[in-house]
Amino acid sequence: MKALRATEDIAKKIGAEGVLHSKDIARVSVVGSGMRSHQGTAARMFDALAKASINIGMIATSEISISCIIDLDKVDDAVKVLHKAFKLDRI
């Protein structure tokens, strides 16, 4: 909880109203250098999660990755639908 205290201290210094946190979330990511040249990766990820009724709480991206924060109890479902969406279930 040291990191949480540090975050709360910074929030006070910058005038933020507070810090929200939860232990009931998880991150799922799609990663690969091919994302630079393949359009639609984010759309495919978001569509797959939406069709499985998995709510995305936050999104972070880079040139080679897309990460979504989801409810912890949806992790197994998310991994399965993403594997299927990107045809990784065939490997």
pTM over 0.75: yes
> Are the CB atoms for 31 and 65 separated by under 8 Å?
yes
Could you write out the DSSP letters of every residue in 44-91? HHHHHHHHTT----EEEE-SSEEEEEEEGGGHHHHHHHHHHHTTGGG-
Confidence band, pLDDT 50/70/90 cuts, at residue 38? confident
Instruction: List residues bridging with 59 in a β-sheet.
Output: 68
Q: What is the pLDDT of residue 37?
A: 86
Confidence band, pLDDT 50/70/90 cuts, at residue 86? very high
pLDDT tens digits, one per residue of 50-73: 999 999 999 999 999 999 999 999
All domains of the chain in start order, with CATH = 22-90 (3.30.2130.10)
